[in-house]
A = this chain, B = another copy of it.
Amino acid sequence: MEISAKNKMKGTIVDITLGSVMAKVKINIGNDNVISSVITIESVADLNLKVGDEVYAIVKSTEVMIGK
């Protein structure tokens, strides 16, 4: 399945913090950028996410702001 969200940044999971409902996953996408993602712990389990996994950080274009 291809998804409409235009921003797909390939990287490696470097940290996972599990809460009771939500989890924070850190993804190193290179070039000094580490992306922080907050998803449900259910999704962490469903995708069997682990530190070291190669994944994509995915963001819908309408969610991206610009700072200057």
Q: Which A residues are closer than 8 A to B by beta carbons?
A: 1-9, 17-25, 27, 29-31, 33, 35-40, 42-44, 46-49, 53-68
Contacts and interface: CB of A to CB of B under 8 A. Distances in A.
Contact of A33 (B9, B20, B63): B9
A19 B21 CA distance: 5
A36 B6 CA distance: 7
A58 to B, nearest CB: 4
A56 B65 CA distance: 8
A54 to B, nearest CB: 8
A64 B58 contact: yes
Contacts of A46: 2, 4, 6
